[in-house]
Structure 1
Amino acid sequence: MEDFWSGVGVDLHLDPDSARGRRAGLERALRDAVRDGRLVPGTRLPATRRLAAELGMSRGTAKAAYDQLVAEGYLRARQGSGTEVAARPADRVPAASGTAGAPAPRLDLRPGSPDVGAFPAAAWLRALRRAIATAPSMAYDYGDPRGRAELRTALSEYLGRARGVIAPPERIVITSGYVQGLALLTRVLDGGVVAMEDPGLPFHRDVVRRAGGRVVPLAVDELGVRATELGDEDAVVVTPAHQYPTGVTLHPERRRALVDWARARGRLIVEDDYDGEFRYDRQPVGALQGMAPGHVVYLGTASKTLGPALRLGWMVLPPNLVDAVADVKLHSDHHTESIGQLALAELVTSHAYDRHVRACRLRYRRRRDRLVSLLGARWGLRGIAAGLHALVEVPDEAEVLERAAREGLAVGRLGDHWHTAADGRPQGLVVGYGTPRERVYPEALEVLGRVLGEVRRGRASTG
């Protein structure tokens, strides 16, 4: 007969084979549960008294079964802590070979991440508590695919105030980050031809392709994307506030050219405002969306301001795309998780989010200044007025990266961002000064400076 037993809060399905006798049947059931992984090492088992009562056998029989499996090495009896599943040599699986098992670099200056150690845990916990305390019971049910009204309302005010975005709540769709927003939009466009910045992030190009789109390159120079080179593409994806990876800000004339193209051809601009809150040496650059809200999809995220683990992003859509995007999202994941949305809404409306962004802006500016102080006089630095990364011009990416790897330092490479590899492309390092924890950032910079110095001296000696 099949039984369910529980103990110390754990339920487990067992099938003792009574035909073999009660003790032997229990031993086999427990042994099989350990072998096939239903009982993992460290799992505490119920006391023999409780197990015996639930399986309808004597306590002595249950204890004898435990003792036998302890002797065989399947279980471990700990004085005062009961009995638990033991770790056996067969359970220790060697690490997989290849990149999946590659150790993390000791020092990490790769771009793409903020200092996650600066996550405002205390403020988030307060916001979460307040949100849960006031949330209606329906907040725990399936929700609107567009997202919680509380967060869409909070973002409407914040984005208008901080980024110049025209964002009525009914035109906002909450997503699980920028990547989901880009994929949803590509699907709504039924694939189509999407122009993307060259250089730009390869992963984002892959997202568009996997969603059915066809990607074409759009060149970037010191003024940003060359908008006049656009033709009959269905959409263009741009990072106007702080181009990734060159760091340039889209020139006002290029902005106007983009908007003119979209209006004249009835096309779409996708604005990736991934780190628009972080600016240092200039006045805030408003979002492009404010110039043409009927032709621009604004994509933002909490990944750079708070942390990627939250998986919270937002789309501000032209009116004619809201229903289509919501429908695709409904059939993709139904809706983004709700409790985090409520907490973020509370964080925004209480202005704790603004305070956190200002604190981060000051922290990252100090980091940027240290980078400029170390390299600015000797190496070409670009994109330092804003954001979380800078581009360092170098003569040979491969040589620098090889030397850096020997020192345990990882850094981004400009060459990885071109649509196609070709000789004569500019070379550089994409340095993410937001990534390291505060305590290791000085060492990471020291190693970077030493590596670049070695490269320069080596070239001088052979020149």
Structure 2
Amino acid sequence: MAETQTNSVAWETLLDLAAYDGPRHVRLEQAVRDAVSTGRLASGAALAPSRLLASSLGVSRWVVTEVYGRLTAEGILDARAGSATRVAAGPTRPEAPRDAPTPRGEGVGTVPATASRPAPEPVEPVRRPRYDLAPGVPDLRNAPRALWLRAMTEALNEAPDAELFRLDGDVPAARAALAAYLSRSRFARADADALLVTHGAADGMRRVARALRTLGHTALLVEDPSWQRMRQVAAAEGLTSVPVPVDGDGVDVAALVEASVRTGARAALVTPAHQFPTGVPLSAERREGLLAWARTRDGVVIEDDYDAEFRYDRRPIGALQAMAPDRVVLAGSLSKTATPALALGWLVLPSWLRDVVRNAGSAVPSTFDQLALARFLTSGGLDRHLRGARTRYRRRREALLAALERTMPECRVSGIAAGLHAVLDLPPGVRAAEVVRAAEPRDLGLTDIRRYRVSPDAPAPERLVLGYGDLADPLVDEAVRLLADTVREVAARDVTGSR
């Protein structure tokens, strides 16, 4: 049997009931367990419908539904109404019970113990905490699967034959659709010629950093704190990060100007719509100041449009690029709006930088993916998905804040009503790193804001970055209760230890 891939259809998986002892439902249960534990059934793989599997195995449908029900209750399988039964994506692979029947003989599809080829190593799925408050993760349970599938199907059905022969990866329809979408949703000033489709935000940063090095740049002004992945990508291309502090109005432009003069840096990476991780927007005055610096220094601003689509208290702020399209590179992706698995993003480039960036990059997304992206945008698929996502995130954020107010009223929450995360100030004397460690045994995932500092050892307030994007609504109250218990445990430990 060929190995199944994550989220694949695995209807043809060979399950040999003759290799086990006991009643049929016991044998089928063990066969499925073994297929999952060895990796033959991959995390996320869809199992055959109960009626089809029962027919192929020559058993009653009750046998299959009984096994599916048991393994779903244990978290090994994931069954949802209207969807296929799949191998659960979250838990680690199950271990066989101590009293599980041992396969006998060399049943169909098994490899004899004396065979020369070794058994394949099981592939462990990513283990995420049950109460995962990691920031930057969208609601994966509500990823736009059906909308994307429809967009891809319609795009391929309607694409001219000649479109399927493209070898250069340039799909004008995708660039035109992106230009129209960004114009109406982010007020960007761009036509299709300014657009470049990328494999995501990090890929876009890699291309721009490589182009800047070609043009003689050696340093990049970055917000401190900020998303480390973008800094790492720039560093890999030879740009040294120059940290600039962030306060309640966003990046400190006066400090940025000083750092530019001191280091000679003429490129800056910022998140003006919703600064990550502090959660503040760049003020209007500082927007003007930042663009004035770029014009004066012959500089360029890379605008990471991080989760700009999710603003809950008012309409989203327009892109900085709209104010100075000749000085700003606008970078975005579908990673937070839809799912990182699509690996699709874009750059809106000033005219003077377009050829350099295009020549500095590697392969662009496939023609199929770009055609689907164009259809996803022009059919309103992304718009429909965003409307539902905003409602869910707003409701979840409100539930999180209400729970924090009930259980931890002494801790301040900061950041505007936007995006997929909030920032929690810890009580005096409580160190964020200790809270993160103490939370692990509770199956609670937390993130110290120092993780995003350019200089993590520098003095800074003790804060946690709390993500709620992929936290299931029924788990919000319990997650906050566990957080409060953890903080109190660390505070009590510190008091006892100081005596």
CA offsets 1:387-430 (integer angstroms, 9 cap, x no match) = 11111111310231122112011111101111113353112111
Q: CA deviation at 1:268?
A: 0.3
Residue in 1 that maps onto 2:404: 375
CA distance in 2, matches of 1:41, 1:400: 38
Specify the code of the residue in structure 1 equivalent to 2:397.
Answer: R
CA distance in 1, matches of 2:205, 2:118: 41
Question: Which of 212, 228, 240 matches 1:189?
Answer: 212
Specify the code of the residue in structure 2 equivalent to 1:118.
Answer: N
Secondary structure (helix, strand or coil) at the match of 2:384 reads helix
Specify the code of the residue in structure 2 equivalent to 1:354.
Answer: D
CA offsets 1:5-32 (integer angstroms, 9 cap, x no match) = xxxxxxxxxxxxxxxxxxxxxxxxxxxx
CA distance in 2, matches of 1:353, 1:86: 47
CA offsets 1:82-132 (integer angstroms, 9 cap, x no match) = xx4527598456779xxx998432321111210111112121121111101
Residue in 1 that maps onto 2:235: 209
Specify the code of the residue in structure 2 equivalent to 1:392.
Answer: L
CA distance in 1, matches of 2:199, 2:467: 23
Residue in 2 that maps onto 1:112: 136
Question: Which of 191, 210, 222 matches 2:248?
Answer: 222
Question: What are structure 1's unaligned runs of at least 5 residues?
Answer: 1-39, 43-72, 79-83
Residue in 1 that maps onto 2:418: 386
Residue in 1 that maps onto 2:111: 86
Residue in 2 that maps onto 1:348: 377
Residue in 1 that maps onto 2:483: 448
Q: CA deviation at 1:142?
A: 3.9
Contact residue 41 and residue 85 of structure 1 kept, 8 A: no
Q: Is 1:435 matched with 2:470?
A: yes
Contact residue 108 and residue 409 of structure 1 kept, 8 A: yes
Instruction: Give runs of aligned pairs for residues 303-342 of structure 1, distance below 5 A.
Output: 303-329=335-361, 332-333=362-363, 335-342=364-371
CA distance in 1, matches of 2:397, 2:266: 37
Secondary structure (helix, strand or coil) at the match of 2:446 reads strand
**CA separation of 1:88/1:446 partners in 2, compared to 1, >3 Å: closer, same or farther?**
farther
Residue in 2 that maps onto 1:130: 154
Residue in 1 that maps onto 2:387: 358
Contact residue 368 and residue 384 of structure 1 kept, 8 A: no
Contact residue 41 and residue 86 of structure 1 kept, 8 A: no
Contact residue 196 and residue 237 of structure 1 kept, 8 A: yes
**CA separation of 1:108/1:294 partners in 2, compared to 1, >3 Å: closer, same or farther?**
same
Question: What are structure 2's unaligned runs of at least 5 residues?
Answer: 1-38, 42-102
Contact residue 132 and residue 339 of structure 1 kept, 8 A: yes
CA distance in 2, matches of 1:374, 1:257: 39
Contact residue 192 and residue 234 of structure 1 kept, 8 A: no
Residue in 2 that maps onto 1:404: 439
What is the aligned-residue identity percentage? Answer: 38
Q: Is 1:252 matched with 2:277?
A: no
Provide the alpha-carbon RMSD of the alignment: 2.8
Residue in 1 that maps onto 2:34: none
Specify the code of the residue in structure 1 equivalent to 2:189.
Answer: I
**CA separation of 1:87/1:416 partners in 2, compared to 1, >3 Å: closer, same or farther?**
farther
CA distance in 1, matches of 2:342, 2:172: 18
Q: CA deviation at 1:158?
A: 1.1
CA offsets 1:299-335 (integer angstroms, 9 cap, x no match) = 0101111100000000000011111111122xx22x2
Residue in 2 that maps onto 1:174: 197
State which drifts further: 452-461 or 418-427: 452-461
Contact residue 41 and residue 87 of structure 1 kept, 8 A: no
**CA separation of 1:460/1:375 partners in 2, compared to 1, >3 Å: closer, same or farther?**
farther
Residue in 1 that maps onto 2:182: 159
Contact residue 119 and residue 306 of structure 1 kept, 8 A: yes
**CA separation of 1:113/1:87 partners in 2, compared to 1, >3 Å: closer, same or farther?**
farther
Specify the code of the residue in structure 2 equivalent to 1:317.
Answer: L
CA distance in 2, matches of 1:41, 1:161: 46
State which drifts further: 87-96 or 252-261: 87-96
Residue in 2 that maps onto 1:149: 172
Contact residue 280 and residue 365 of structure 1 kept, 8 A: yes
CA distance in 2, matches of 1:285, 1:184: 26
How many residue pairs end up in the alignment?
Answer: 383
Q: Is 1:287 matched with 2:312?
A: no
CA distance in 2, matches of 1:41, 1:373: 44
Specify the code of the residue in structure 2 equivalent to 1:270.
Answer: I
CA distance in 2, matches of 1:178, 1:316: 12
**CA separation of 1:281/1:88 partners in 2, compared to 1, >3 Å: closer, same or farther?**
farther
CA distance in 2, matches of 1:380, 1:268: 36
CA distance in 2, matches of 1:255, 1:291: 9
Residue in 2 that maps onto 1:48: none
Question: Which of 414, 430, 442 matches 2:449?
Answer: 414
TM-score by length of 1: 0.76
**CA separation of 1:453/1:361 partners in 2, compared to 1, >3 Å: closer, same or farther?**
farther
CA distance in 2, matches of 1:187, 1:459: 47
Q: CA deviation at 1:384?
A: 3.7
**CA separation of 1:348/1:404 partners in 2, compared to 1, >3 Å: closer, same or farther?**
same
**CA separation of 1:309/1:103 partners in 2, compared to 1, >3 Å: closer, same or farther?**
closer
